[in-house]
């Protein structure tokens, strides 16, 4: 007998705000996916199914399908997605990924560690002067923004402009309203012009930054087209900072909610690396990613038509009881953590080691510099309708050590 499959209604804000919790009672049910209401397609939630789908080369990348479904088929943002490494399939994906992995090397990431400490301490100094802060704004977002801009070679005076543009672009990652789409289009257009001017600069005067390395790849090998070069720089900026803001911000949010765990980290800092991994599992920065089959296929026992979206719920998969014991518990001592938060397979996150490094240094510095960290008002809520797991704000009261 065919199993009745549940429906996932993306119009309900709770499914965005609680992407894991809402599905937690599905794990002991006989079905393996939810049907997405109104647009069709599936949402996978089991760790094994999500992992298999991420590594399945016959499933296409997300392309621009999610945007087409809401009638957003042209303009600067959609054009950018058409040249964006994360949205492409081979052979373009293989070529672009090879190129960015050659310049975004582990050596470059290791070399940036002293600067991460320096920026984290400078931000902590500023916060030490006030008893109440919006932690997202004062620290969580500024640390990764400063670091990714510094790696790319973007002058400091332009950092806050980058923030404004990437915020507008990321706000288009879920179900954007028309005003959000317009803002994302404007941001891509302005950012494209800005990056092109910076590229001309580096041609005249090469530096030791990531941007120069990308420009050289383009000019010497012609492996990166004129559209792909700015698209790649924008993707690195967009992918490289609000995701990590959420790791640091949501991580501290989770620690404040679990004071016993925060106390354990204070008394044994060797636990911090594992705590970062547990934060990445428990509150992944990105709640789901999408795939689109290139032909009708059967997945988790269900027929999916060509072009229908398959959402891979990373947040739910990380809490699969088949993989993690008592998965709804946050536990900085947890062993054998197997996160899917950075994806897996061909599109595995290029910045995972940078994000982990920034998370580790951020928690180390914060726990050293502040002896007390509490919510300064009611517990904040997560925003709905965006695939980035973002708190609406994170007001904290801090006491310097």
For the stretch 140-159, what's the b/e string if a residue is b when 16 or more beta carbons lie within 10 angstroms of its beta carbon? bbbbbbbbbbbbbbbeeeeb
Q: The tokens 């001017």 sit on which residue?
A: 197
Residue 396's SS3 state is: strand
Residue 18 tokens, joined: 């609680």
Site string for ligand HEM, 207-246 (x = CB under 6 A): ----------------------------xx--xx--xx--
316 binds ligand HEM (CB under 6 A): no
Closest CB to ligand HEM: residue number: 351
The least distance separating ligand HEM from the CB of residue 100, rounded to whole angstroms, comes to 6
Coil, strand or helix at 392: coil
Give the one residue of 64, 163, 313, 341 binding ligand HEM; rule: CB under 6 A: 341
Tokens for 193? 């012009």
| Contact between 355 and ligand HEM per CB under 6 A | yes
Q: How far is the CB of 249 from ligand HEM (least distance, A)?
A: 11
Tell me if 390 contacts ligand HEM by CB under 6 A: no
Non-local (6+) Cβ contacts of 223 within 8 A are: 95, 99, 217
Nearer to ligand HEM, 111 or 130 (CB): 111
Which three-class secondary structure string do you get for 226-271? CCHHHHHHHHHHHHCCHHHHHHHHHHHHHHHHCHHHHHHHHHCHHH
Specify the residue, 348 or 374, whose C-beta has the smaller distance to ligand HEM.
Answer: 348
3-state SS class at 109: helix
Tell whether residue 163 is a contact of ligand HEM (CB under 6 A): no
d(CA 68, CA 193): 25
Among 77, 136, 253, 342, binds ligand HEM (CB under 6 A): 342
Q: How far is the CB of 116 from ligand HEM (least distance, A)?
A: 12
350 part of the interface to ligand HEM, by CB under 6 A: yes
Instruction: Name the one range near ligand HEM by CB under 6 A: 131-139, 298-306, 350-358, 378-386.
Output: 350-358
The reply to whether 97 sits near ligand HEM by the rule CB under 6 A is yes
Backbone angles phi, psi at 389, to 5 degrees: -85, 95
343 binds ligand HEM (CB under 6 A): yes
Whose structure tokens read 């009708």?
296
Q: Does 66 bind ligand HEM (CB under 6 A)?
A: no
What whole-number distance in Å separates Cα of residue 160 and Cα of residue 119?
A: 15
Contact status: 351 vs ligand HEM (CB under 6 A):
yes
Q: How far is the CB of 68 from ligand HEM (least distance, A)?
A: 17
Tell me if 64 contacts ligand HEM by CB under 6 A: no
Pairing verdict, β 42-44 and 132-134: unpaired
Q: Is 349 in the site for ligand HEM (CB under 6 A)?
A: yes
In terms of CB distance, is 32 or 244 closer to ligand HEM?
244
The neighbouring-strand residues paired with 133 are 396
State which of residues 32, 69, 250, 285 lies at the interface with ligand HEM (CB under 6 A).
285
> Applying CB under 6 A, does 86 fall inside the site for ligand HEM?
yes
Beta-carbon contacts of residue 145 (< 8 Å; ≥ 6 apart): 159, 162, 163, 241, 245
Q: How many residues bind ligand HEM (CB under 6 A)?
A: 25
Q: Which residues here bind ligand HEM, judged by CB under 6 A?
A: 85-86, 97, 100, 104, 235-236, 239-240, 243-244, 247, 284-286, 289, 341-343, 347, 349-351, 354-355
């Amino acid at each position: 007998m065919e199993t009745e499959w549940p429906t996932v209604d993306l119009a309900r804000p709770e499914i965005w705000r609680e992407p894991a919790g809402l599905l937690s009672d599905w794990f002991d049910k006989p079905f393996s996916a939810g049907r997405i209401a109104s647009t069709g397609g599936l949402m996978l939630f089991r760790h094994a199914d999500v992992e298999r789908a991420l590594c399945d080369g016959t499933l296409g990348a997300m392309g621009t399908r999610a945007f087409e479904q809401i009638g957003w088929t042209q303009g600067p943002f959609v054009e950018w997605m058409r040249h964006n490494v994360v949205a492409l399939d081979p052979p373009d994906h293989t070529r672009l990924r090879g190129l960015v992995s050659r310049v975004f090397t582990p050596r470059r990431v290791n070399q940036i560690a002293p600067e991460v400490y320096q920026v984290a301490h400078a931000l902590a100094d500023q916060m030490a002067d006030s008893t109440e802060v919006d932690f997202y704004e004062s620290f969580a977002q500024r640390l990764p923004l400063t670091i990714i801009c510094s790696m790319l070679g973007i002058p400091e005076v332009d950092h806050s402009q980058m923030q404004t543009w990437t915020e507008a672009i990321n706000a288009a990652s879920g179900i954007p309203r028309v005003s959000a789409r317009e803002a994302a289009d404007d941001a891509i257009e302005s950012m494209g012009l800005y990056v092109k001017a910076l590229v001309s600069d580096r041609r005249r005067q090469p530096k030791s930054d990531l941007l120069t390395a990308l420009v050289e790849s383009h000019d010497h090998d012609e492996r990166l087209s004129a559209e792909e070069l700015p698209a790649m720089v924008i993707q690195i900026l967009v992918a490289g900072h609000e995701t990590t803001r959420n790791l640091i911000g949501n991580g501290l949010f989770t620690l404040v909610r679990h004071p016993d765990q925060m106390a354990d980290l204070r008394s044994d800092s060797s636990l911090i690396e594992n705590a970062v991994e547990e934060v990445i599992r428990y509150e992944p920065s990105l709640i789901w990613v999408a795939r689109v089959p290139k032909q009708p296929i059967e997945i988790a026992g269900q027929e999916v038509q060509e072009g229908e979206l398959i959402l891979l719920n990373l947040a739910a998969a990380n809490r699969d009881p088949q993989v993690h014991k008592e998965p709804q518990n946050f536990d900085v001592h947890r062993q054998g953590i197997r996160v899917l938060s950075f994806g897996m397979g061909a599109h595995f996150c290029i910045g995972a080691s940078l994000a982990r490094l920034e998370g580790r240094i951020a928690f180390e510095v914060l726990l050293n510099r502040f002896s007390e960290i509490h919510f300064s008002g009611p517990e904040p809520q997560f925003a709905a309708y965006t695939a980035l797991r973002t708190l609406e704000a994170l007001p904290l009261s801090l006491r310097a050590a």
